[in-house]
Amino acid sequence: SYALTQPPSVSVSPRQTASLTCSGGNLGNKYVCWYQQKPGQSPVLIMYQDTKRPSGIPERFSGSKSGNTATLTISGTQVIDEADYYCQTWDSSTVIFGGGTKLTVL
Amino acid sequence: EVQLVESGGGLVQPGGSLRLSCAASGFTFSTYWIYWVRQTPGKGLVWVSRISGDGHNSDYADSVKGRFTISRDNAKNTVYLQMNSLRAEDTAVYYCGRDIVVVGGMDVWGQGTTVTVSS
């Protein structure tokens, strides 16, 4: 079955750039979206169709894709960005989430 | 205000049934795919099912196929998830979400409803 791979954890210093990756077979031919989830809260969509930011999402969040790897980049990371981040795609009639990356800002 | 509100969770014995509801407001409900996603405490997001805006198309994760049924009543702006033959591993917080565009991602999520399957 199809799978998306994310690193379990990423650490970044405040004001630095964080790069979160998401890899999967033939991902270059699939749309990818990204969610942010903070403890005790519902997920928030922060990127869709690879590079589009929903209304209200800060410009410091950007998305890209190269080959079979999608990347969520957070420029000028802030302490409030500390959260779990999940990538998601579609494979045929199935919806797949990555395992999630815990972003620590310290 | 655009929102989704889940209800119907609770404690049920293994083998039992439960019906979850996802009530929508603030948008043209019938034009959006709606998803169900679940999450076990401390674990990741897992997709469960989805249904098209007109209700004619639906998909399921292999883990729930044949046991869960998704449906919608556009007159009531509500999506349902009928869960039968429940197992301990179905224990989770269940969220419903609205697809921002077809294969876009869920831009509106409910607060979640907790399902506990235990004897």
Could you report how far apart the first and last alpha carbons of chain B are, in Å? 39
Q: Give CA angle at B50 (B46, B51), nearest 5°.
A: 175
Q: Tens digits of per-residue pLDDT, A24-82?
A: 999 999 999 999 999 999 999 999 999 999 999 999 999 999 999 999 999 999 999 99
pLDDT at A4: 98
> In whole angstroms, what is the distance from residue B45 CA to residue A25 CA?
20
Asked if A99 has any chain B CB less than 8 Å from its own CB, the reply is: yes
Which among A37, A48, A100 has CB closest to B105? Answer: A48
DSSP annotation of B12: E
By Cβ distance, the residue of A45, A96, A97 closest to B100 is A45
Task: Find the chain B residues whose C-beta atoms sit closer than 8 A to any C-beta of A.
Answer: 35, 37, 44-47, 50, 59, 61-62, 95, 97, 100-101, 103-107, 109-112
- Report the C-alpha gap between B7 and B19 in whole angstroms: 9
How far, in Å, CA of B102 to CA of B78, rounded? 19
- For residue A55, the chain B residue with the least C-alpha distance is B107
Question: Which pLDDT belongs to residue B81?
Answer: 98
Q: Give the integer Cα–Cα distance in Å for B25 and B23.
A: 7
CB contacts of B100 in chain A (<8 Å) are: 45, 48, 54
Does A42 sit within 8 Å of B95, measured CB to CB? Answer: yes
Among B103, B46, B106, smallest CA distance to B79 is for: B106
Q: A49 and chain B: CB distance < 8 Å anywhere?
A: yes
Mean of pLDDT values over B55-79: 98
Instruction: Give tens-digit pLDDT for B22-50.
Output: 999 999 999 999 999 999 999 999 999 99
* pLDDT beyond 90 at B93: yes
